[in-house]
Amino acid sequence: MAIIRAGLTSALSRLCVSDVTSNNTSRLISTGISPLFFKATTCLYAEPLKKKKRIDPAIIKQREERKKKRLEKQIRRLERHARQLKPIDELEVPFEFIDEKKERIREAPALTPETLEERALLYKEWARYKRKQNMNNMQMIDRLVFAQQKALDELRQESEELYQAAIQINPTQLPFTVRGPVRTPPIKGYDSPDGEYLDVSKKW
Partner 1 sequence: MNLVQMRIRSCLYSTSVKAVRKQKWDLMSAVCLERKPVISRELNDIERRFSRILAETELETSHKSDHEVRFEQDMLQAELLKSKSVDLDIDMALQQTAQDFEDAAVEEYNSFPFESRLTEADRTHDLQSLERKLDRHLLLLVQEKQWDQKVWIMPQGLRMDGETMLQTAERVLKEECGADLMVSFYGNAPCGVYKYKYPKRFVGHGENASVGAKIFFFKAQYIAGHLEHNKLKRKEFKWLGREELMASLPEEYCRNVSQFLIDEE
The DSSP letter of residue 15 is G
Q: Which residues bind partner 1 (CB under 8 A)?
A: 97, 100-101, 103-106, 108, 111, 119, 122, 125-126, 129, 133, 136, 140, 143-144, 146-148, 150-152, 154-155, 158-159, 162, 165-170, 173, 181-188
Smallest separation (angstroms) from partner 1 to the CB of 160: 13
Smallest separation (angstroms) from partner 1 to the CB of 162: 6
Smallest separation (angstroms) from partner 1 to the CB of 203: 26
Considering beta carbons, is residue 10 or 148 the nearer one to partner 1?
148
Quote the CA–CA distance of 154 and 163 in Å, as a whole number: 9
Q: Is 24 exposed, middle or buried (0-12, 13-18, 19+ CB in 10 A)?
A: exposed
HSE at residue 18, side-chain half, CA atoms within 13 A, is: 10
Smallest separation (angstroms) from partner 1 to the CB of 109: 9
Considering beta carbons, is residue 83 or 104 the nearer one to partner 1?
104
CB proximity list for 156: less than 8 A, separation 6 or greater: 163
Smallest separation (angstroms) from partner 1 to the CB of 105: 6
Considering beta carbons, is residue 8 or 135 the nearer one to partner 1?
135
Considering beta carbons, is residue 86 or 183 the nearer one to partner 1?
183
Quote the CA–CA distance of 98 and 116 in Å, as a whole number: 30
Considering beta carbons, is residue 18 or 148 the nearer one to partner 1?
148
Q: Using CA of residue 71, residue 73, residue 76, residue 78, what is the dihedral sign?
A: negative
